[in-house]
Structures are given as structure tokens and as C-alpha cells.
Amino acid sequence: MKYELIVFDWDGTLLDSAAAIVQAIQAACRDLDLPVPDDARARHVIGLGLADAMRHAVPDLAPENYQAMVERYRFHYLSGDHELTLFAGVPDMLARLQAAGHMLAIATGKSRLGLERALDHSGLRPYFMASRCADECHSKPHPQMLEELMAEFGVAAVATVMIGDTSHDLLMARNAGVDALAVTYGAHPHDHLLEHAPLAALGSIAELDQWLKTCA
């Protein structure tokens, strides 16, 4: 076993939620009569902690409007998050990895409350031994999430791999000295992910599962 610890991002990697996040950001901006970011700008911030995401998506956001923006974003996202679905094949892949003896964890830009809600809706809670969220750690690409997970399980960086759909995930892995896999079906475009030299850029859960069977 090359990788004892396999760490997954959540949104856009396991859950098909990127479009819903973009729409919630844009709807929140419209509610507050703020400039509405285009899809590309809104998608780029997926994976960051909520505060960093809002600052990047709406750079002209005044400090006094920050809390209102967060509240409107959460309103729009939570009104439909129960309808979001996992990418096809996710539960089977996680079950196989768990049965093979890998330790599975999550490093996400979601809040703790948001991740707990998502784990319950998705039914994936039994597969993960630990998780770190953006309201508990520095936001990606700071390495704190991965460093804490490795420390929790006593696993070296060389035995850890990070899997995500954004440059924020890949940069976090690099900053932690950890190998990284990119999935290209989520938030960030294929070419942008390749700029950060992941081990592979995989276009589906089936491709990801096959890579892990062969190389992990």
C-alpha cells in the first residue's frame, strides 16, 4: 500500500455541487444589489473557506455587507442542498478503499455544520475516519488541514495523497509535501489543474477508482 491516508475534498470531488454553489453566490449578489460574478469567477472560489470565497468572488464587497452576503449565500445553497447527488460510483469506490485498509479523510472548504449536514444527507459518514473544515483551520491552500490529519493518524506525507477538483486542493497538497490527484469533472477546468502538476488528472469517478486500484 503506497498511500495509507487518502484525503478527499468534498464539493466538486465527491458531491456534484459546483453548479449549486455558483448559483447561490450569484443569487446572493443579486439579493444585495452587488455585482454578480460570472460563472468562471464564482467557480474559482469553490473550495476556499466561506470568508475567502466571498472576498474573491465579490472583491468590492464592503465589510458592513459581509455578514448579509454570507447569510444570503447560505439561504440559497441550503434551500436546495438536499437535492444534490454524489457523483456516480462514489460509495462503491469508498467502500473498496476502506476494505483495502486505507484510512479515508476529508479536507473541505465547508463549515463543520455544513459538512455534518452533507455527511448525513449523503450517507457517506461511515467511510471517513476524520475530517477538517475551513472554520476549524486556515483556508486552503494553507497546509494545516493536511498537517493535522497526518498528525492525527501518525502518517507521513509520503504515505498521504490529496484528491480534489480545484487548484486550492493541489496547492494545499504541495504546501504540505503531499502527492495530489486532480479530478476534472468539478469546479476548475482541466488546463488550470494541469498547471499545478498533479500525479494525474482524472475525468470521472471510474477513472479515479481505477487509478487508485493500480497506484494506491
Q: For 41-47, what is the mean pLDDT?
A: 91
State the catalytic residues. 9, 11
The predicted pLDDT at position 185 comes to: 94
Q: For 128-157, what is the mean pLDDT?
A: 97
- What is the SS3 assignment for 114-175? HHHHHHHHHCCHHHCCEEECCCCCCCCCCCHHHHHHHHHHCCCHHHEEEEECCHHHHHHHHH
Q: For 80-94, what is the mean pLDDT?
A: 95
Q: Mean pLDDT score of the chain, rounded to an integer?
A: 94
pLDDT at 173 over 90: yes
Cα separation, 77 vs 69, whole angstroms:
12
Q: For 182-191, what is the mean pLDDT?
A: 93
The predicted pLDDT at position 163 comes to: 98
Cα separation, 199 vs 202, whole angstroms:
10
pTM for this entry: 0.93
Domains and CATH numbers, the chain: 5-16+85-215 (3.40.50.1000), 18-82 (1.10.150)
The predicted pLDDT at position 159 comes to: 98
Ranges 24-33, 89-98, 143-152: which has the least confidence: 24-33
Q: For 93-104, what is the mean pLDDT?
A: 98
The strand pairing partners of 11, in sequence order, are: 15
The predicted pLDDT at position 124 comes to: 98
